[in-house]
Amino acid sequence: MLHDPNHLYIFDTTLRDGEQVPGCQLTTPEKIEIAQDLELLGVDIIEAGFPVSSPGDFQSVVELSKAVKDVIICALTRANKNDIDVAAEALKFASRPRIHTGIGSSDMHIKYKFNSTREEILARAVDAVKHAKSYVEDVEFYAEDAGRADLEYLAKMVEAVIAAGATVVNIPDTNGYCLPDQYGAKINFLKEHVRNIDQAIISAHCHNDLGLATANSIAAVQNGARQVECTINGIGERAGNTSLEEVSMIMKVHAQHFPGLTSNINSKLFTQISRKVSSMMRMPVQPNKAIVGKNAFAHSSGIHQDGFLKHRENYEIIRPEDVGLNQADIILTARSGRHALKFHLERLGYQLDKDQLAMTYERFLLLADTKKDLCDEDLETLMQ
């Protein structure tokens, strides 16, 4: 598969790793709706499910393959023939199918999950890729728990699966274990030491157990990864996966650190898709979540509000419009200052001189101390 070295491929796994979260299961029509939104958002690959895991998941991959035609539809398997046969069957209507197969690569997984040896696991990895390749051209291999794998062995495994036909090599930090410089160095080592690495895209798949999923994914991109696996709102197994919206906005805000690198993501759709995924999956977004949290663009302390109202860039590194919000919020609480109060009163049509504002502000503070935050109705009452 020819790939563009200046393109950052966005691989969305909201419907697979994200949907594994207890209580987040979706029906097939719900999955189709989200997949269509993901297509509009501009993702390159949608991981649609793990077909062998249940008849429902199999059917979802079939239906998504019919409904979504412009992006690659990917199905997950373990490294065995039956999983791969089932995935190939589920993908039969996909216009751009990808099989994502793989196996554990750390000694921990080799010994305690597979009760096996490095040699045996390597052979199974190669056989799985060859078998997947007999069905589809586009085969992604994941070296599960690569974050804790021995580097030399990982490099050997990556080289062998590329030789067997893998077009993408996924280096998952399955347990969210790595520090950004460790994960970045891992990717760099593979770039430097795997002879055929230019024949595949390196993919970052990070989990958030230490809150480092996004930082690790960015470190991977800085070291040569050209695909990032992520989910809307960062949902996923345990503490979640890399958040799609965070990676995308980091690339935008720090574009000069990623010269020439582009993606197809339309960030203006973030708020809308975040809310839809959250409500369909009944998975609330924490209010302070970067980019899509309720408070991500809300200014509440007097010092910040004053600085923001003088010049918004004093306290705004992302324009809310760029993520699909109309404007930032100036929240009125007992920590707010006169400037914020004046701003809201003028918005409601009240023009006050300096003394009037000072008096109103005293009354405002008394009221604000009794409430968490004040709304327009409270201000109207205050002005009576």
How far is Cα 33 from Cα 277, in angstroms, rounded to an integer? 10
Task: Indicate the residue among 53 and 301 with the shorter CB distance to ligand KIV.
Answer: 53
According to the binding rule CB under 6 A, does residue 17 interact with ligand KIV?
yes
- Which helix (H) or strand (E) covers residue 170, if one does? strand 168-173
How far is Cα 263 from Cα 7, in angstroms, rounded to an integer? 6
User: For residues 149 and 106, is the Cβ–Cβ distance under 8 A?
Assistant: yes
Task: Indicate the residue among 97 and 236 with the shorter CB distance to ligand KIV.
Answer: 236
Q: How far is the CB of 109 from ligand KIV (least distance, A)?
A: 10
Question: Structure tokens of 139?
Answer: 């085969």
Among the listed ranges 166-174, 196-204, 281-289, 321-329, the one in contact with ligand KIV (CB under 6 A) is 166-174
Phi then psi dihedrals of residue 138, to 5 deg: -95, 105
According to the binding rule CB under 6 A, does residue 172 interact with ligand KIV?
yes
How far is Cα 53 from Cα 61, in angstroms, rounded to an integer? 11
The residue count for binding Zn ion (CB under 5 A) is 1
Question: Measured between alpha carbons, how far apart are the two ends of the chain, in Å?
Answer: 70
User: For residues 16 and 76, is the Cβ–Cβ distance under 8 A?
Assistant: yes
Among the listed ranges 23-31, 167-175, 182-190, 323-331, the one in contact with ligand KIV (CB under 6 A) is 167-175
Of ligand KIV, Zn ion, none, which one sits near residue 289, judging by CB under 5 to 8 A according to partner kind? none
Task: Indicate the residue among 237 and 373 with the shorter CB distance to ligand KIV.
Answer: 237
How far is Cα 268 from Cα 325, in angstroms, rounded to an integer? 8
Task: Indicate the residue among 175 and 301 with the shorter CB distance to ligand KIV.
Answer: 175
According to the binding rule CB under 6 A, does residue 142 interact with ligand KIV?
yes
The residue count for binding ligand KIV (CB under 6 A) is 9
According to the binding rule CB under 6 A, does residue 205 interact with ligand KIV?
yes
According to the binding rule CB under 5 A, does residue 17 interact with Zn ion?
yes
Q: 């990070």: which residue's tokens?
A: 206
Q: How far is the CB of 340 from ligand KIV (least distance, A)?
A: 44
Residues 309-338: x/- map of binding to ligand KIV (CB under 6 A)? ------------------------------
Residue 60, C-beta contacts closer than 8 angstroms, at least 6 positions apart: 15, 28, 31, 48, 49
Of Zn ion, ligand KIV, none, which one sits near residue 142, judging by CB under 5 to 8 A according to partner kind? ligand KIV
Task: Indicate the residue among 136 and 204 with the shorter CB distance to ligand KIV.
Answer: 204
Restricted to residues 36-95, the positions that interact with ligand KIV (CB under 6 A) are 76
User: For residues 225 and 254, is the Cβ–Cβ distance under 8 A?
Assistant: no
CB atoms under 10 Å from CB of 128, counted, come to 26
Q: Strand 45-49 to strand 329-330: parallel, antiparallel, or no bridges (unpaired)?
A: unpaired
Q: Catalog residues that contact ligand KIV under the rule CB under 6 A.
A: 17, 76, 142, 144, 170, 172, 174, 205, 207
Q: Catalog residues that contact Zn ion under the rule CB under 5 A.
A: 17
